[in-house]
Amino acid sequence: MDPVHREILRKERLQLSEQVLVSDTVVQYLYQEDVLTQSHVEDIQSKPSNKAKTLRLLDILPARGPHAFHAFLGSLEEEFAWVRNLLLQKLDSQHAVGQCSQEDDCHIPNAILCRVPSDRELSRLAMRLGLEWESVLLDLGLSADALFRCRVDYPHSTHGQVLAGLLQWRRSKGKAATVERLLHSLRATDIHHSILEDVLQ
């Protein structure tokens, strides 16, 4: 988990434990998004009170990978929208713009980083990616077999191959398929963030 996200959960720990009911909806959403395992779910549900359940969840989340924070936000969207908004405000107040450092002048707002990219945005990104597109999709979690299928399905269109891979990533990851996740994968393959900024305009 991003250190900024971890720090927000730590600072808001008591408030979250008093405001969030770790209902089946929250836990099952996180299980569905591969943030929690079955043993995590059983561990959380075994706690005697809701506060204890929430605190246990907050203990587990930081160790559950880079998507855990945004998946947690997604789990709050329906029943605890005000808590989700509070966490997003805390994120803004710490200028946590998806690890965009001041050195490279990345200016993608949090509101955009935390959302799922649209079909149009993914299509525009597919047109902008060069030879690195396979590396980007592998970093996003697609398998080599999935990449092969994209090439077979669109043998005469690189744009079609890339877009098919991006759509498959978004479909498989759900609400965890955020603009921020795309940004991380672009950076991991040495693609400048300005490409994504152009796509989002």
What does the domain layout of the chain look like in residue ranges? 3-93, 111-200
Span 172-177, average pLDDT? 88
| Comparison of pLDDT for 101 and 13, the residue scoring more | 13
Q: Which CATH number fits domain 3-93: 3.40.50.2300, 3.40.50.300, 3.40.140.10, 1.10.533.10?
A: 1.10.533.10
Q: Which CATH superfamily is domain 111-200 in?
A: Death Domain, Fas (1.10.533.10)
pTM: 0.50
Residues 6+ apart with CB under 8 A from 150: 137, 160, 161, 162, 164, 165, 168
- pLDDT at residue 104 above 70? no
Contact 117, 174 (CB under 8 A): no
What pLDDT does residue 105 have? Answer: 57
C-alpha separations of 30 from 47, 72, 108 in Å: 17, 7, 26
Per-residue pLDDT reduced to its tens digit, 121-143: 999 999 988 778 888 898 888 88
Q: What is the pLDDT of residues 149-173, one digit of tens each?
A: 999 999 999 999 999 999 999 999 8
Do the domains spanning 3-93 and 111-200 agree at the CATH topology level? yes
Please say whether the beta carbons of 74 and 175 come within 8 A. Answer: yes
C-beta neighbour count of 103 within 10 angstroms: 6
